[in-house]
Amino acid sequence: MLNILRLILDSIFPTHDCLKRLQTETLENFRRYLTVQTHANTKVLSDYNLPAIKAAITANKFHDHQQAAELLGILISDWYKNLPTKSTIFVPIPLSKARERKRGYNQVTRVLQTVPEPITIGRLLIRTKHTAPQTSLPKAERLKNIIDAFNYVPHPDLSKYDRVVIVDDVITTGATLTAAKKTLMPHLPKSCELICLALAH
């Protein structure tokens, strides 16, 4: 009976392909996609070309899909647990006000909020201009597109952190994270470690 009902609902309200792809994924199984690499001075947790990773990022980014956020959160969790212990603050790459208003949320923040371990999420950056999506531009234009796109937001307790992790969902050329790092670096204590992290490349 439930299968018949599901078929009827799927015919009326078709499920997006990325959501279908995630139906059989569990947190435990999704851990197998963690393959930490370094690209453009950024720690990258997985390969965007893997169907499950692409589906999770798309579902989280464009469909506000809780399971997708949790699956991606487990990759951050497993990576973070293997780091030396330090007081750490995670900083999601901010969206422009217009894009966040249209989407209704910041997809990177959503992922960070699902990380099973208690982590600190901080708003140390704001987006100062509405830029074209980086994926829509050639490499040379991406670098220009992101110039002066961020400003630092003062944080009263920043000095108590020994590590700052700036997080984005997908890295291509690395221009966005590089610009964010450049904005943030002058405001960090010299002893503070700064890591750029992307869910996929």
pTM: 0.88
User: What does the pLDDT look like over 75-105, one tens digit per residue?
Assistant: 999 999 999 999 999 999 999 999 999 999 9
Residues 6+ apart with CB under 8 A from 3: none
CB neighbour class for 88 (10 Å; exposed up to 12, middle 13-18, buried from 19)? middle
Q: Would you say 89 and 60 are in contact if contact means Cβ atoms under 8 Å apart?
A: no
Q: What is the pLDDT along the chain (201 residues), one digit of tens a residue?
A: 545 644 454 445 446 899 999 999 999 999 999 999 999 999 999 999 999 999 999 999 999 999 999 999 999 999 999 999 999 999 999 999 999 999 999 999 999 999 999 999 999 999 998 776 666 567 667 777 788 999 999 999 999 999 999 999 999 999 999 999 999 999 999 999 999 999 999
What is the per-residue pLDDT for 145? 77
Question: What is the spatial distance between Cα 89 and Cα 193, in angstroms, rounded to a whole number?
Answer: 11
Residue (of 182, 169, 191) closest to 87 by Cα position: 191
Report pLDDT for 58: 97
At 18 the three-state DSSP class reads helix
* Distance, CA of 77 to CA of 174 (rounded, Å): 22
Q: Is 89 exposed, middle or buried (0-12, 13-18, 19+ CB in 10 A)?
A: buried
The residue type at 140 = A
How high is the pLDDT of residue 7?
47
> How much is the pLDDT for 9?
43
Q: What's the pLDDT score for residue 80?
A: 98
Closest to 82 measured CA to CA, from 41, 129, 31, 47: 31
Domains and their CATH numbers in the chain: 20-200 (3.40.50)
Q: How many helices (H) and strands (E) does the chain have?
A: 9, 8
